[in-house]
Chain A
Amino acid sequence: MSRSDDEPDELHAWRVLSDAGLVEIGPDEFAERIKDVKRIVTVRLRELLDFNTGVQERESAAYSLGTLKGLELKVLASAPKPPDSSKV
């Protein structure tokens, strides 16, 4: 995705989040969106570990990853169960 220099920050952020499906998350999309964000955080954390830099950001990324994992588990646990096809 390219960005023109005269594009306001807000518009750029809006476009980035819209493309990622993160402006208004649909009720059934949370598990998938959490996975997407986890992937982004994991990549960044790996970069920080590889370069052995940004200790504070590393800690914060690791913490965010833990939070996302916890939220993912709760969201998955409360997901509506698909209809049992064996009863049809």
Chain B
Amino acid sequence: MMKSTAKELRTAANWPPEEGQVVSLKSSIASETAILKEVRWGLVWRDFILEDGRVIPEHRIAGCPQPQAWRKVSEVTDQEREECEERLLSMAGAGMDPRKRDQSFWAELNQYLAYTYLRFKPTRAKVQDTER
């Protein structure tokens, strides 16, 4: 049963898997299977939230189509970014530790740094915009 589920998930047509399905993943410790609770878009990529509360980036889920779907920086609204910044500061203020891998603070801070880097990194397009 588990084998056929895992095989089914390897097709892009069935991606992403649905809530309650068993997914295979590479955790920070080993390869394993777990029950998917939710798939949620972050600022850049999708995170897979498992029933045990761990947050796994999509690229670590077995069968993830390549190239995986990522959001463009321009798709993120100001409100979404501001809410993310508030959540991060609130988690930091509550004493949560971002070093706890696969936990929500680690996952959200990782995506925020990736998004902010992509957003402000100099690009040819931006240089041209500035020159106009």
Q: Which residues of A contact B (CB under 8 A)?
A: 8-11, 13-14, 16-17, 20, 22-25, 27-28, 30, 33-34, 36-37, 40-41, 43-44, 47, 51, 53, 60-61, 63-64, 67-68, 70-71, 74-75, 78
Contacts and interface: CB of A to CB of B under 8 A. Distances in A.
Interface in B88-132: 88-89, 92-93, 95, 97-101, 106, 109-110, 113-114, 116-122, 130
Interface of B: 44, 57, 59, 67-70, 72, 78, 81-82, 85, 88-89, 92-93, 95, 97-101, 106, 109-110, 113-114, 116-122, 130
30 contacts: A9-B70, A10-B68, A13-B118, A17-B44, A20-B117, A22-B110, A22-B113, A23-B59, A23-B114, A25-B109, A25-B110, A27-B99, A30-B99, A36-B117, A37-B113, A37-B116, A40-B117, A41-B120, A43-B120, A43-B122, A44-B120, A44-B122, A53-B130, A60-B78, A64-B116, A64-B120, A67-B89, A70-B92, A71-B89, A78-B97
